[in-house]
Structure 1
Amino acid sequence: MTSAPVNEQGPRRAILGQLPRMYRADGSPIRVLLVDDERALTNLVRMALRYEGWEIDTAHDAAEAVAMYRANPPDLLVLDIMLPDMDGFGVLAEIRASGPYTPILFLTARDSVVDRVTGLTAGGDDYMTKPFSLEELVARLRGLLRRSAYLTPSDDETLRVGDLFLDATSREVKRGDDTVALTSTEFELLRYLMRNQGKAVTRQEILRRVWEYEFGGKSSIVDLYVSYLRKKIDAGREPLLHTVRGVGYMLRSPR
């Protein structure tokens, strides 16, 4: 596998002193399970995440990862796809079938569109490819925590666009009578679009408001998530989610 390049100052500036530390709702440290068979990489990432004040457990194969997850479910899971005994998609399937919801970020050298689609549609919340920046990894994990249900402050916001309904307290989404299952990232993307119904929003606006990170102009991640969201809310129905050519996206009621 390809190890991550390290910018010694960039990650330290982001991790130390610029951003407030994040904790679980009860004030205890965030717990991360890091799964990768490359020990040099897990040591590097563990060191970076410890600057955040988080507790890090590591597993180097699928069996160890599933056993550790079931024994003590973490708040975040960072998961490689290429593991020696079973691929990361299999690990994801076992975890999603048997455990509580945990935000999952794939961190892998496999960068094909098929792999990204498989990982995200199977229930992954984000996807990063190697080589990678530690600063960006930390930013994405912090974003996942902000979007995850247990850290999101409860409110009584309900939103409707046509027959699409979103309840922020229960985090329930329905299209007509059908419940729509969304990952935390898809939920926040939909909530942002529904709050701005009838308004064209740019990809950069979506990145700033949903991911809370610029990603160095990598707006293709927005297109990827919009395509997944469109399949879940518009499949077989009159479309609500529209592409505004040259601008971005808009959610609007049928005319």
Structure 2
Amino acid sequence: MKILVVEDNPSVSSMLELFFSKEGITGDFAADGLEGYRKYKAGEYDLLILDWMLPGMDGIALCRKIREEGSSVPIIMLTAKDSESDQVIGFEMGADDYVTKPFSPLTLMARIKAVTRRTQKIEPVSDLIQTVYFTVNKETRDILKDGQEVDSLTPKEFDLLVFFLQHPKQVFSREQLLEQVWGYQFYGDERTVDVHIKRLRKKINDGDKLFHTVWGVGYKFEEHAD
């Protein structure tokens, strides 16, 4: 595995470089956003780790730029910010995961494995999903609802929508959704699910009528034919 880390704190970079070497991971490092972008364009990476606060170009701007260019490379954000609004910004820009500083290398490694396992997973099912209102091509990531394109979803919002479409009317707790969609136990951060549900309800027409809150349990997705 080859990972690009864009981090301006030398102690954090040194810690990750040492840990990566023990894990057999090739790590490239950049100290500012512009250098990180140049390295990203020049190399091929399995995953990017971006610090939120960076000189030159901050991590959020870098994440947005990479996504605008059409890349689906997994991105993990490192940040001291842990409010829901900050998480919304990160996920909105296309980040796949969010690790709050200070963090342990083992925790970060668990997130890395989960993200890469999820993105590399090959499912022996059709790439086309058709429901009452939706037609989704998982390979091209095209979404139609009532024949109209839905093109504003982040990679993680797309994954969550696909999971719900494949499991209609089933009720899932936040923990189950984190495990199934994010690929691991996201202890202490169940708000991540709430943030993504909120965004899907807002971005998809009549989303409030599709993504249902089951009080005391979690969420379910249900369509009703007219």
| TM value normalised by structure 1 | 0.78
Aligned to 1:158: 128
Residue 181 of structure 1 deviates from its aligned partner by: 4.4
Q: Secondary structure at the match of 1:96?
A: helix
**Equivalent of residue 243 in structure 1, options 210, 213, 217:** 213
**Equivalent of residue 164 in structure 2, options 193, 197, 211:** 193
* Native 8 Å contact 2:91 2:156 kept in 1: no
Alpha-carbon distance between aligned partners in 2 of 1:231 and 1:139, rounded to the nearest angstrom: 31
Which portions of structure 1, spanning 4 or more consecutive aligned residues, are displaced by more than 4 angstroms? none
Residue 237 of structure 1 deviates from its aligned partner by: 5.8
* Native 8 Å contact 1:38 1:60 kept in 2: yes
Measured against aligned partners, the alpha-carbon deviations of 1:11-67 in whole angstroms (never above 9, x if no partner) come to xxxxxxxxxxxxxxxxxxx21110110011012123323343221100001111011
**Equivalent of residue 179 in structure 1, options 150, 154, 159:** 150
**Equivalent of residue 92 in structure 1, options 56, 59, 63:** 63
Aligned to 1:4: none
Residue 99 of structure 1 deviates from its aligned partner by: 6.0
Residue 82 of structure 1 deviates from its aligned partner by: 0.9
Q: Secondary structure at the match of 2:54?
A: coil
* Native 8 Å contact 1:136 1:215 kept in 2: no
Count of residues paired in the alignment: 223
* Native 8 Å contact 2:4 2:28 kept in 1: yes
Alpha-carbon distance between aligned partners in 1 of 2:55 and 2:207, rounded to the nearest angstrom: 42
Unaligned residue ranges in structure 2 (runs of 5+): none
* Native 8 Å contact 1:103 1:184 kept in 2: no
Q: Secondary structure at the match of 2:38?
A: helix
Aligned to 1:254: 224
Unaligned residue ranges in structure 1 (runs of 5+): 1-29
Alpha-carbon distance between aligned partners in 2 of 1:214 and 1:237, rounded to the nearest angstrom: 26
Residue 230 of structure 1 deviates from its aligned partner by: 2.4
Q: Secondary structure at the match of 1:207?
A: helix
* Native 8 Å contact 2:175 2:186 kept in 1: no
Residue 114 of structure 1 deviates from its aligned partner by: 2.9
Q: Which moved more, 1:78-87 or 1:217-226?
A: 217-226
Q: Which moved more, 1:48-57 or 1:66-75?
A: 48-57
